[in-house]
């Protein structure tokens, strides 16, 4: 099957492709959390390795906030090529995030927030919103991305909901990432944790 025929298939059935990719992505992340057999695929990580991976995840997420923000800025200024490059970079960064995150969760310990109770409550609320938005954003981001990859600029503007879906995807993704970075800073640099 050629790349052109795959592209055409995805273009005709973006929702089915999104559903398949979403199930695979959710399966990998949930497997890291819940499935002992899946967790056995990854080595147990030392505390120092967990720390390095945690910092790497925060760096990748911070860089993704930057690329998403640039992509949003560029499309608002009708710089379509720059927008497309920024969004493709953002997606590549999320794949890098998953390549670090899944082994980190499967092979690492858990960090529990050590701080004042009120701050801990705020931390948990932000963490919950971050997690919820990251779950909700996956299919929306994939849909916007697949539309962008399979349609011409004119088709995107006249025949698809790419602009609307893209605003929802970028907004939810940005908020999720920012909250993730804020909770990372609170846990790892301001208040501390129990490992």
Residue-wise pLDDT for 146-193, tens only, equals: 999 999 999 999 999 999 999 999 999 999 999 999 999 999 999 988
Q: In this model, does residue 107 exceed pLDDT 90?
A: no
- CATH 1.20.120 for domain 3-194: yes
**Sign of the Cα pseudo-torsion (174, 179, 184, 190, in order):** positive
Mean pLDDT to the nearest integer, 64-70: 98
pLDDT of the residue at 43: 85
Q: How far is CA 139 from CA 90, 99, 135, 146, in A?
A: 15, 19, 8, 10
Q: In this model, does residue 38 exceed pLDDT 80?
A: no
- Using 50, 70 and 90 to split pLDDT, how confident is the model at 37? confident
- Using 50, 70 and 90 to split pLDDT, how confident is the model at 124? very high
- Using 50, 70 and 90 to split pLDDT, how confident is the model at 4? confident
Extract long-range pairs of 47-55: CB within 8 Å, 24+ residues apart. 47/109, 47/195, 49/108, 50/104, 50/108, 50/109, 50/195, 53/100, 53/103, 53/104, 53/108, 54/104, 54/111, 54/184, 54/188, 55/188
pLDDT of the residue at 177: 98
pTM: 0.90
pLDDT of the residue at 195: 83
């Amino acid at each position: 099957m050629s790349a052109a025929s795959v592209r055409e298939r995805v273009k005709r059935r973006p929702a089915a492709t999104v559903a398949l990719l979403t199930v695979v992505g959710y399966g990998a992340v949930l497997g890291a959390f819940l499935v002992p057999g899946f967790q056995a695929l990854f080595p147990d990580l030392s505390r120092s390795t967990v720390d390095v991976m945690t910092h790497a995840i925060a760096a990748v997420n911070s860089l993704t906030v930057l690329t998403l923000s640039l992509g949003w800025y560029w499309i608002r200024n009708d710089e379509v090529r720059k927008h497309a490059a920024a969004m493709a970079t953002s997606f590549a960064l999320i794949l890098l995030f998953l390549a670090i995150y899944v082994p980190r969760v499967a092979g690492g310990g858990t960090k529990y927030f050590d701080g004042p109770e009120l701050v801990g409550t705020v931390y948990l609320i932000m963490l919950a919103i971050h997690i919820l938005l990251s779950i909700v954003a996956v299919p929306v981001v994939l849909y916007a991305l697949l539309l962008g990859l399979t349609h011409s600029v004119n088709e995107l503007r006249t025949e698809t909901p790419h602009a609307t879906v893209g605003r929802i995807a970028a907004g939810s993704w940005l908020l999720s990432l920012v909250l993730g970075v804020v909770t990372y800073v609170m846990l790892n640099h301001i208040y501390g944790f129990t490992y």
